Amino acid sequence: MNKTSAPDHLVLDDWITPREAAELIGVTPHQVRYLTRKGVIEALKFGHAWMVKRASVETYAAKERHPGPKPREPSAD
């Protein structure tokens, strides 16, 4: 590997801030952090700053989401 080039998974153009990710998917930065902790969206820490993988955010944005609590099953009474 050439020392002047970063590995493919560390190209900075592929990473965005949690705030930018939140704007892309229409949620708060807090929700983005929650999604990264759950492993839904990929993130890495670069020094002191967390960065979110753009492709991971785009994949999440393309999925059909149903916000809010899940509907309850009717009871068989």
Note the CATH number of domain 11-62: 1.10.10
The Cα 43–Cα 55 span in angstroms is: 11
For residue 24, pLDDT over 70 is answered with yes
The 10s digit of each residue's pLDDT in 38-61 is 999 999 998 999 999 999 999 999
Domain boundaries, the chain: 11-62
- Report the alpha-carbon distance of residue 34 to residue 32 in Å, rounded: 5
Q: Which of 22, 30, 31, 29 is nearest to 57 (CA)?
A: 22
| Contact (Cβ atoms closer than 8 angstroms) between residue 63 and residue 27 | no
What is the predicted pLDDT for the residue at 72? 78
Question: Which residue type, as a one-letter code, is found at position 32?
Answer: V
